[in-house]
A and B are shown apart, each in its own frame.
Chain A
Amino acid sequence: MISRRRSIAFPVALLLVMGMTIVMGLSTLLTVTLLVAMRPEERVRIGPYEIARLLRSAVTHDGAGNLKLDEDILSSSVLSIARGHPSFWYVIRDGRSTVSSGQVPPLPSQASHDSAYQLTYSEFMYSHHGQHLPGVSVAAGAEGGISIETGGIAFSVPEAVWVLLVGARGSGLYHLLALVLFATATAATLIVKAAIARPVKRVVVNAEQIDAIPNGRLLPDDRTPTELLPMVVAFNTALQRIDAAFESQRSFLSNAAHELRTPLTRMRLKLELIQDDKLRGAVVREAAHLASVIRTLLQLARLSNQALETAPVDLVAVGRAMVAEHALAALEQGIELAFRTEAKTVVIQGSESAIRAALSNLLLNAIQHATGTRQVTLAVALPSQVSVVDHGPGVAQEDRAAIFRPFVRGTTTRTDGTGLGLAIVMQVMATHGGAVWLEDTLGGGATVLLTFPAGQALARPLSKLQGAAKGLDS
């Protein structure tokens, strides 16, 4: 199921827009009401003026060229308010036809209608049943133009306010208000988003800096806003739990190492007391085997439980150091260890201790399986490859996939390996995102190829000048 994620900025912006709409509506209403209530003479003029404007916009001609009023506008709320006043009247003329309603009072002369191409507007007062009422006269256009006269209404304050508000509709005021609202909503959405995003971003940046090493690093919460604090605290608690779990794992491994190795050491020393040389030799070999199983098991446990701390590692230096470390032990078994490379340095991003463990196990493996042959070579090649080449019995085709699993040994093996060495190599290469290949050595034997991700290699080829340099050999 896909969970739908929504930004919290939108509801916040929506609330803001709703609030603003209410405030703007109320303030407009209040302003108009105050205006109307405080200036009675203005209020008197509002009625006829607005009605005249309305009628003017409603005038059309029918098919016969006679005047006609748009039904929609005639049924509008403003006109229905006006019709509520019994003295309301209007008369519309275009020279040919006349439309009128109500009791039209005697009107002033039409002199103003002579001026051509002009919109004229005039107000007048007249008496009706002893009451002074306002009237307006609007003339549009030249001859054949329309003239509208209306009057006989005096709106109350609420009526005047309503008429003004409805009348303002055509003036673009509401469009302007809508534009302001839209702009505010957009700005609010962006600002709210940014305001929420900034502290979140800070937390995210800090969280991203947390590496895979359990070193007690926590997210700083000093500048975190109150709303985000529970999240940061929960995250930190989780981090602390992970650190604690890692620490207990670590101490378990160290205790296991101690508890297994100390009695093994005592046992090994007691074996020296065995008088029978043949028996002692056999038991000492067994003890050595047990020790090496324990060593590799602990190594494997450490590698699979620990997050690797990575740094630039020079495969040439590590490879050479590992050959140096195992050279004497190999010589004692009659095997010459050699190191070969064409590159001065082959730097990859990785864990030196893990790579050392892998190479060490490969060399031990090769020395063990190649007993009786002359040479084992560790080679480092560009861009980021390490190979260990032996001339022993090789690995049978059917064993190849299996020997990388813990405790599996090849069928051609004569000596007793732990069966864990290659599993460690696999583990190390997997954590580095690399690959392990097993090949036949030309002329017999096994070649194990380790390929580290090439993108990370920063290799420098060996200087060709070195061979040409003149020596000072004396």
Chain B
Amino acid sequence: MRVLVVEDDSELAAWLQSTLTSTIGVTDVLDSIGEAEAALLTYQFNLVVVDRRLPDGDGLTLLPALKNCSPQPATLFLTALDDPNDIALALDRGADEYVGKPFEPAELVARAKAVLRRYALDQRGTGQIGNLSFDLHHRSVLVNHDPVEVPRRELAILEALVRRAGRVVQRETLELSVYRMDDEIESNAIDSHVSRLRRRLRQAGCDAQIRAVRGVGYLMTAR
């Protein structure tokens, strides 16, 4: 894994460099949009952490350059602005994740890992939560490297949950990922699929957990 941090505050940049190097991978630090644009042309990164307020402008202006990279790196924006409109603007333009300052060190690392997991699932077709690994191409689930048999619909639910691990996936989203549009859905169908999936994973010794949020949906967390 290779990480690029674009941050002009030297203290924060140094902390990000040492923390991300030890938790994710080799981290380079640059302090302006111009330098970052040049670096993106030459090197490949898996994750780019960008501050919104940089000496040569808004960090969001780096997004077009990031979109042109192949493979496209995951993006995480750091900001002191938490106006909901600012956040909506950043996510609209294609930022993957948004962390407000000040942040809890552990939360930043967790969010960065979650974004990377989503990218891994999209780009390589594999995802990992706790001791559970998920292979999208082979439609296989491994718990502690042992294969677990998961039926088609439960697998679709698991995929949706792994894709958004650490976040609540709304029931509607799960229904859309499991059923075709013209399928008739019984109101508690998703719940019974999830409870079977939970039992299956527990029996296999999985340490990732599927938790219910009543009236909303489910979320998957590593214990």
Which residues of A line the B interface, CB within 8 A?
254, 257-258, 260-262, 264-269, 272, 287-288, 291, 295, 298-299, 302, 320, 323-325, 327-328, 331, 336-341, 352-353, 356-357, 466-467, 469-474
Which partner residue on chain B sits nearest A473 by CB separation?
B189
Pair B184/A469 contact, Cβ less than 8 Å? yes
Pair B192/A323 contact, Cβ less than 8 Å? no
- The 24 listed contacts between A and B (C-beta, < 8 Å) are A258-B81, A261-B100, A264-B102, A265-B12, A265-B101, A265-B103, A268-B102, A269-B15, A323-B213, A324-B217, A328-B168, A328-B219, A328-B221, A331-B221, A336-B213, A336-B214, A338-B215, A339-B215, A339-B216, A341-B215, A353-B88, A357-B84, A472-B179, A473-B189
The answer for the CA separation of A338 and B211 in the assembled complex, in Å, is: 12
Q: Find residues 176-214 in chain B having any chain A CB closer than 8 Å to their own CB.
A: 179, 183-187, 189, 192-193, 211, 213-214
Is the contact region of chain A dominated by helix, strand, or loop, or is it mixed?
helix
**Residue among B102, B167, B170, B187 having the largest count of chain A Cβ atoms under 10 Å:** B102
Pair B213/A473 contact, Cβ less than 8 Å? no
Pair B211/A471 contact, Cβ less than 8 Å? no
Interface residues on chain B, size class = 35 or more
Also in contact, A472 and B183, with CB within 8 A (given A327-B213, A328-B219): yes
Least CB distance, B129 to chain A, in whole angstroms: 14
Question: B56 near A: Cβ within 8 Å?
Answer: no
Please, which residues of chain A bring their CB within 8 A of the CB of B81? Answer: 254, 257-258
The answer for the CA separation of A332 and B100 in the assembled complex, in Å, is: 20
Please, which residues of chain B bring their CB within 8 A of the CB of A320? Answer: 170, 215-216
Least CB distance, A411 to chain B, in whole angstroms: 30
Please, which residues of chain B bring their CB within 8 A of the CB of A473? Answer: 186, 189, 192-193
Question: B25 near A: Cβ within 8 Å?
Answer: no
Please, which residues of chain A bring their CB within 8 A of the CB of B42? Answer: none
Also in contact, A328 and B184, with CB within 8 A (given A266-B9, A353-B85): no
In the complex, the 3 A-B pairs of residues with the closest C-beta atoms, listed nearest first: A471-B186, A339-B215, A338-B214
Please, which residues of chain B bring their CB within 8 A of the CB of A331? Answer: 211, 221
Least CB distance, A390 to chain B, in whole angstroms: 15
Q: Which of A288, A324, A353, A356 contacts B167 (CB 8 A)?
A: A324
Pair B184/A472 contact, Cβ less than 8 Å? yes
The answer for the CA separation of A302 and B86 in the assembled complex, in Å, is: 13
Question: B80 near A: Cβ within 8 Å?
Answer: yes
The answer for the CA separation of A340 and B213 in the assembled complex, in Å, is: 11
The answer for the CA separation of A184 and B152 in the assembled complex, in Å, is: 89
The answer for the CA separation of A13 and B84 in the assembled complex, in Å, is: 58
Which partner residue on chain B sits nearest A340 by CB separation?
B215
Chain B window 91-113, contacts with chain A (Cβ cutoff 8 Å), 1 for yes, 0 for no: 00000000011111100000000
Pair B80/A257 contact, Cβ less than 8 Å? yes
Please, which residues of chain B bring their CB within 8 A of the CB of A261? Answer: 80, 100-102
The answer for the CA separation of A467 and B85 in the assembled complex, in Å, is: 38
Pair A302/B213 contact, Cβ less than 8 Å? no
Which partner residue on chain A sits nearest B214 by CB separation?
A338
Least CB distance, B102 to chain A, in whole angstroms: 4
Least CB distance, A327 to chain B, in whole angstroms: 4
The answer for the CA separation of A351 and B186 in the assembled complex, in Å, is: 35
Pair A266/B84 contact, Cβ less than 8 Å? no
Pair B216/A323 contact, Cβ less than 8 Å? yes
Least CB distance, A85 to chain B, in whole angstroms: 99
Please, which residues of chain A bring their CB within 8 A of the CB of B217? Answer: 324
In the complex, given contacts A324-B216, A340-B215, A473-B189, what are 16 additional A-B residue pairs having Cβ atoms less than 8 angstroms apart?
Answer: A261-B80, A261-B102, A262-B9, A262-B101, A291-B102, A299-B82, A320-B215, A320-B216, A323-B215, A328-B168, A328-B219, A338-B216, A340-B214, A352-B84, A469-B185, A471-B189
**Residue among A265, A299, A353, A474 having the largest count of chain B Cβ atoms under 10 Å:** A265
The answer for the CA separation of A262 and B184 in the assembled complex, in Å, is: 52
The answer for the CA separation of A9 and B179 in the assembled complex, in Å, is: 72
Q: Which of A257, A324, A357, A472 contacts B170 (CB 8 A)?
A: A324
Least CB distance, B216 to chain A, in whole angstroms: 5
The answer for the CA separation of A287 and B12 in the assembled complex, in Å, is: 16
The answer for the CA separation of A261 and B79 in the assembled complex, in Å, is: 9
Which partner residue on chain B sits nearest A470 by CB separation?
B184
Least CB distance, B107 to chain A, in whole angstroms: 10
Least CB distance, B111 to chain A, in whole angstroms: 11
The answer for the CA separation of A104 and B153 in the assembled complex, in Å, is: 135
